[in-house]
Structure 1
Amino acid sequence: MDNLILDKKAGVFRAGNMDFGCGALSGRLVFSESGNTSLATVYADGMPIGTAALSSDAEARTEAVFPIDRTEGIREVTVTLDGSARLHSLTFSAEPAFGATDYVPTPEKKLIDLGAQDWEATDMLGRRVASVEDVRGRKKDRKVGIFYWTWRESHAHLRPVDVVDVLEKYPAAEYRKDHPAWGERPFQCHWHEPFYGFYRNSDPWVIRHHAALLAAAGVDMIMFDCTNGALLWRDAYEPLLRGLHEAREDGIRTPQVAFMMNFCPAHSTELMLRALYQNLYKPGLYSDLWFRLDGKPLVMAYPDALPETGVCETDTRLLNEIRDFFTFRPGQPLYAGGAKRPDQWGWLEVFPQNKYVTRPDGSCELVTVGVGQNANAERICTHFNDKETFGRSYTGRDGFAHLSPDSYKYGYNVQEQWDRAIDLDPDIVFVTGWNEWIMGQFHEPWLSDNDSTQLAMVDQYDREHSRDIEMDRDGYLDTYYLQLAHNIRRFKGAGARQPVSAEKTITVRGGGKQWRDVTPVFRSPRGLTLHRDWDGFGNCHYVNTSGRNDILEARVARDADTVFFRVTCAAPITPREGEGWMTLFLNTDRRQDTGWEGYDLVINRLPAPAGRATVEAYRRTAEPGSFTWQSIGRAVLHVSGNSLTLALPRSFMPAGELNFEFKWSDHMQQPTVMDFYENGSAAPIGRFNFLYRE
C-alpha cells in the first residue's frame, strides 16, 4: 500500500509515524520513472538516517533496498527527493540491506576456448584477417575494450528514422527541421539501419549474437556510455547482463563490463555511483562479468564526485565503501591533448593518440582507437555533418586523400589508429565503438553560424561520418568487424594451432569413439539457434525462427583415399528437410577469387538418397558475375543422434597435401555470405572459416 504523500508546500514526502520496532537496519523504497538517477534521503523525527539511489527507466514500480542508521521505536518519517522519480511506499526491516544473493557466477572452467584465433577470414574487399602464423606468440595480459551503447531501450518508442535513407531521397531535409521526412521531429535518429535491424538493447537474440561476435573477435570488455546526465539505462543493462550470463553458462567467454560516467566530478556521477553500487555491485550480481583493473571493478568516473561525508554515519560508511571498492579512471573528454591528470583515461582521440596512465618506464595502461572523430581542423569537437570532419576515410597523414564514394568501407582512419596503438603497446586498447547508431539533432551550441538552419548531427551522420563497427545492413557490412578481429590479433598475438593428428581411416557408421584422438577440435559457440520474437524501434517487430541444428563441434580425419568430416550438434539432428540441411562448404584452394565467397565445393546442399550427399562444384556462367553449382558426384553420409559423419573421396580435392578452409551450415535462408551471421546455424559464425592443413 502506498504510504508516501507529497507535501508540496514543504517539498517533502510524508509517511507519518512508523514503527521501527527494536531496531531497523534497512529500508525498502518503492518508486517508478527515474530515468535520470534520483537520490532519496530518509528522515526519522527530522534526523537523516539513510539514502536510497533510485534508478529505473521503466514505468513499472521498482524497489530500492538501502542501509539506514539503526533506528528504534515509533518515529515520524519524511523523505526528500533529489531528482524526478515518483515515490510510492516505504517500509523498514531489521534485516541488513544487503544479504546473501542467489546469483551464482559462471565457473571459469565452464568457459570454452573456441579457438577463434585460428579461424580464417577474407573480407569483401579481399583483405585477409591476420592468421596465427602472421602474429606468432601470445602477448601476456593484453586487453581490448570497446564502447557499447545501452541508450536504445529508452528511445525505442520512436519511429526509426534512417538519416542516410532520408538524405538520399531528400537532401534539403538536412536544413529543414520541419521537413516531412523527419516525421514528428524525433530527438534521436539512426544514421543508418544496423544489420540486425532497429533493435532494442533488451532483445535476447541480439544479445546472444553480440556476445558471440565480440568473443570471437577477442574483445575483453564492453564499456557502457553513461556520460550524459545521471542516465544509467538500467532497463538496458540489466537484460544485457542477464543475456551475457546466459551465454557464459553456455560456455561463451563473453566480454566483461564496466561503466563510463560524466567527464567531470559532477553530482550526477555521485548519484550513478550510489545506484550502481546499491543495485549491482554491493549485492554481488553478475560478479563474474565485472571487468577488473588492479584487482577491483573498474569504473570510468571521477572519485572526486563522492562527498567526504554522508548525511548520517551509515551513509558516510557507504560512501567510503564505494570509494574503496572501485578502481577509478576519470574520463578525458577531449579528442586531443592527452591526460590532464595522471589517473585519466581517454575514450576517443584524433591521430596521433596519446598514452594514458604512463609509467616511469614509458609503458602505459591505455591507448584509444577510433573509427572516426566528429572533429575538424577548426574545432576539436563539432557536429559530424560540419565541414571536413574526420570520417572513416580521413587519416592524420594523408588527410582526405582516400575519400571516394566507397572509401568508407576501407577503415583508413581506424587502421591508422590501430597501427599507432600497436606501436605504443599499451596494456589496454579502447575502441570507439560498437553500436551507437543513434544521435540527436541540435542547433545550439553546435552551429557556429547562428543564421544557419542546418540540423547538427553530433556523434553520427552518414556512412562516411559515423563510428560504428557493428555490421550495417547494406554498406560496409562486416568489413569493420573483421578489421577489428584482425587488429586484435595483431595486438594480442596468438598461440599455436592445435596439432593435426595422424592419418586415420574412419568407419562412417562406426560411432564417436573412433574420433576421440582426432585433432584439431573445431568449436562453435552454443545458442545462436535461439529464436527471435522481439519488438524493435517504433512499430518494428523482428521474428527469426530459422535456428534448428545448433552446431557445436567439427573434426576432420583423412587417409590416402578419403577425407572424413564429423559435425556434432547440441541435440539430435533433425531429419533431412529441403535445401540447406547440414551443408558443408569447402574452399579447397584457400583463394577468395575462385569460388562463391571462396568456396569451390558445397556438399549436401541439395536432397540426396539416404546415406548419400550431393557434391557440387562452383562454375562460372556466361553472364558476368553469375555462377551455378554443378553436381559432380556423391559422398557418403550417416547421421546418428546429434552427430553427422561424411566421407568425401580425395579425388574431389586438389592433389597433394590437404590445405583447405571449411564451414558447416544448417538452414541457410539467403544465398549471401552475410546470412551466416543471421540465420540457421553456421560454424564458424559469419565469414570466418575453419582451417585444416596437413
Structure 2
Amino acid sequence: MKNETIFRLAATLWFAAASLVGCAAADEKSSSAESGPQGPVAPSEREVGIAYGLWADRDLWNGKTWDKPAQGEYDSRDRRVIRRHAEQLAEAGVDFIWLDWSNNVTYDPDELWVGGKQDLIEDATAILFDEYRKMGKRGMAHPKISIFIGVTGAPEAVSDGRLQKKADQVWRMYAGHPLYKDMMQLYLGKPLLVVYVDTPSPWQQGLPQWDDDRFTVRWMTGFVTEQPPLRTPEGVSRYGYWSWEDRGEQTYPLHEGRPETMVVCAATRPQGEPGDEGYIPAQGRRDGETFREQFARARKIGTRFAMVVSWNEWTTAEQPSLEVSKDIEPSQQLGDAYLKLLAEEIRLFKTE
C-alpha cells in the first residue's frame, strides 16, 4: 500500500532532500533517456506483472474497502484463495506477480510474531511460495514471483544496512533457495528486485547508491509524471525510475535505448482538493476506458513490461470509491469484467 505524499512541495525542497543520502551520478541510462527510445520492444518479448497484496485479514473487511471480493472476504494466508488467484492470473496471461513488501524494511522476521501487518505479509508470502511449489509439482500453471521491497519513510535505510538486510532475506528465503529460486521472475538473467523509495523520491538528481549483484535492481517512486526533475517533457524517466502510478500519459524508463516498463491502472485517484493549487482530478474507471487507454500507451511505446497496479489492494486509503478504484480481482459489484478485460489487453500487448 502506497500512502501518497503531498506533491505541493517546492522544487527547492526536492533538491535539498536529494542530498540527504546522496545520488548516483547521471549514468549511461540517464543520458540515453534524453535521446529518446531506439524503438519498441517486440511483442513476443513483452511481459506483464501485477501488484499483489498480502495484507488481507478479517480486520481489513470491516468497512475499510471500496468493495468486497466476488469470492467473499478472505485472509491472504488462505491456500484456497492463493490457488484461485494463481489460476485466474495465469489464465489471463499474467507472467508474474509482484509481492508488496515495500513497507517492511524495518521488520525483522527473526522476532516473535506480534500480529501486525508486516507479520501477516511475510507469513502469507511463505504460504504463497509453498502453494505455488505444490501447484508446479502437479503441473498446474501459476505466475512467476517478484518481491517488491522498499525504504518507505526511511530513506536512511539505503545506507544504514537495513535495505541490504532485507535483500539478503529475500535471497536467503526465496531467490537463492533451492526449492523456490526457479519460481522467481528473472530479468536480464537475475531475479528482479524493485525498491520503492517514497513519493516524491528523496533522490531527485539520480538514483540511490545501492546495488546487489545477485539481483537486477530497479528503483520506483510514485507519480513520476508529477516529479519534473525525474522525467523529460516527453515522459521518459531520466534516471530509470519505475512509477507506481501516473496521472495522465504514463512515463517510462529506457534500458539500452529500449522502453523498459510502464505502469497500467484501471483508474487514478485525485491529487489534492478542488480549488487547491496543483489540484488534479481523479480519472475514474469509465467502464474500462481508462484501463484500455493506459494499455494502449504501453503498446504504442512498446515497453518490455506492463506493470498493472493492482490485483487486490482493496483499501479505501488508495481507492476511495467503486469508480475511483484500480483493483482487477473480481468484486461483488463489478463481477469479473476487469479480469476479462485484463486478459484481452494482455493478448493485445503481446501481439500488436
- Within 5 A, what are the aligned runs for 1:380-529? 388-393=281-286, 410-439=287-316, 458-473=317-332, 475-493=333-351
2:264 pairs with 1:369: yes
Q: 1: distance between equivalents of 2:55 and 2:166?
A: 15
The equivalent of 1:636 in structure 2 is none
* Secondary structure of the structure 1 residue equivalent to 2:51: strand
2:102 to 227, 250, 262: 227
2:105 pairs with 1:247: no
Q: 2: distance between equivalents of 1:263 and 1:333?
A: 13
Q: 2: distance between equivalents of 1:159 and 1:467?
A: 17
The 1:345–1:210 alpha-carbon spacing in structure 2 relative to 1, beyond 3 Å, is same
Deviation at 1:468, TM superposition (A): 0.5
1:202 to 70, 77, 93: 77
CA contact (8 A) 2:237 2:251 kept: no
CA contact (8 A) 1:202 1:239 kept: yes
Q: 2: distance between equivalents of 1:159 and 1:355?
A: 33
Q: Give me the TM-score of the superposition, normalised by structure 1.
A: 0.37
1:524-560 superposed Cα distances (whole Å, 9 cap, x missing partner): xxxxxxxxxxxxxxxxxxxxxxxxxxxxxxxxxxxxx
The 1:491–1:387 alpha-carbon spacing in structure 2 relative to 1, beyond 3 Å, is closer
The 1:159–1:223 alpha-carbon spacing in structure 2 relative to 1, beyond 3 Å, is closer
2:51 to 127, 147, 158: 147
2:183 to 264, 281, 289: 289
The 1:274–1:358 alpha-carbon spacing in structure 2 relative to 1, beyond 3 Å, is closer
Q: 2: distance between equivalents of 1:437 and 1:464?
A: 13
CA contact (8 A) 2:45 2:304 kept: yes
The 1:346–1:285 alpha-carbon spacing in structure 2 relative to 1, beyond 3 Å, is farther
The equivalent of 2:11 in structure 1 is none
The equivalent of 1:161 in structure 2 is 62
CA contact (8 A) 1:259 1:299 kept: yes
1:203-246 superposed Cα distances (whole Å, 9 cap, x missing partner): 11111111111111100011111222425621010111111122
Considering fraction of residues, name the structure with more strand: 1
Deviation at 1:277, TM superposition (A): 2.2
2:220 to 302, 327, 331: 331
Q: Which amino acid aligns with 1:391?
A: G
* Secondary structure of the structure 2 residue equivalent to 1:224: strand
The 1:211–1:275 alpha-carbon spacing in structure 2 relative to 1, beyond 3 Å, is same
Q: 1: distance between equivalents of 2:180 and 2:280?
A: 44
CA contact (8 A) 2:221 2:242 kept: yes
Deviation at 1:421, TM superposition (A): 1.0
Q: 1: distance between equivalents of 2:66 and 2:313?
A: 9
The 1:325–1:358 alpha-carbon spacing in structure 2 relative to 1, beyond 3 Å, is closer
Aligned-residue RMSD, C-alpha? 2.6
CA contact (8 A) 2:193 2:216 kept: yes
CA contact (8 A) 1:372 1:414 kept: yes
Q: 1: distance between equivalents of 2:177 and 2:296?
A: 41
Deviation at 1:305, TM superposition (A): 6.6
* Secondary structure of the structure 2 residue equivalent to 1:486: helix
Q: 2: distance between equivalents of 1:368 and 1:239?
A: 27
1:236-291 superposed Cα distances (whole Å, 9 cap, x missing partner): 10111111122222223311111222267541533321322232233334112100
CA contact (8 A) 1:145 1:223 kept: yes
The equivalent of 2:20 in structure 1 is none
Deviation at 1:340, TM superposition (A): 5.5
CA contact (8 A) 1:370 1:414 kept: yes
Deviation at 1:412, TM superposition (A): 1.7
The 1:465–1:257 alpha-carbon spacing in structure 2 relative to 1, beyond 3 Å, is same
The equivalent of 1:398 in structure 2 is none
Q: 1: distance between equivalents of 2:304 and 2:130?
A: 28
The equivalent of 1:355 in structure 2 is 252
Q: Which amino acid aligns with 2:322?
A: R
The 1:387–1:356 alpha-carbon spacing in structure 2 relative to 1, beyond 3 Å, is closer
Q: 2: distance between equivalents of 1:366 and 1:387?
A: 24
Deviation at 1:347, TM superposition (A): 2.4
The equivalent of 2:149 in structure 1 is 261
Q: Which amino acid aligns with 1:462?
A: S
The equivalent of 2:28 in structure 1 is none
1:381-408 superposed Cα distances (whole Å, 9 cap, x missing partner): xxxxx99422222xxxxxxxxxxxxxxx
CA contact (8 A) 1:211 1:247 kept: no
Q: 2: distance between equivalents of 1:159 and 1:365?
A: 34
CA contact (8 A) 2:58 2:74 kept: no
Deviation at 1:487, TM superposition (A): 0.5
Deviation at 1:335, TM superposition (A): 4.8
Deviation at 1:435, TM superposition (A): 0.7
* Secondary structure of the structure 1 residue equivalent to 2:67: coil
The equivalent of 1:645 in structure 2 is none
* Secondary structure of the structure 2 residue equivalent to 1:190: coil
CA contact (8 A) 1:344 1:357 kept: no
Which is greater in Rg?
1
CA contact (8 A) 1:269 1:301 kept: no
* Secondary structure of the structure 2 residue equivalent to 1:227: coil
The equivalent of 2:173 in structure 1 is 279
The equivalent of 1:115 in structure 2 is none
Q: 2: distance between equivalents of 1:208 and 1:466?
A: 24
Deviation at 1:151, TM superposition (A): 1.6
Q: 2: distance between equivalents of 1:263 and 1:349?
A: 20
The equivalent of 1:554 in structure 2 is none
CA contact (8 A) 1:263 1:332 kept: no
After TM superposition, the structure 1 stretch with the greater mean CA deviation from structure 2, 290-299 or 335-344, is 335-344
Q: 2: distance between equivalents of 1:194 and 1:387?
A: 29
Q: What stretches of structure 2 of length at least 5 have no aligned partner?
A: 1-41, 108-117, 197-206
Q: Which amino acid aligns with 2:98?
A: M
Q: Give me the TM-score of the superposition, normalised by structure 2.
A: 0.70
CA contact (8 A) 2:47 2:95 kept: yes
- Total equivalences in the alignment: 270
Considering fraction of residues, name the structure with more helix: 2
Percent of aligned positions that are identical: 28
* Secondary structure of the structure 1 residue equivalent to 2:221: coil
The 1:359–1:283 alpha-carbon spacing in structure 2 relative to 1, beyond 3 Å, is closer
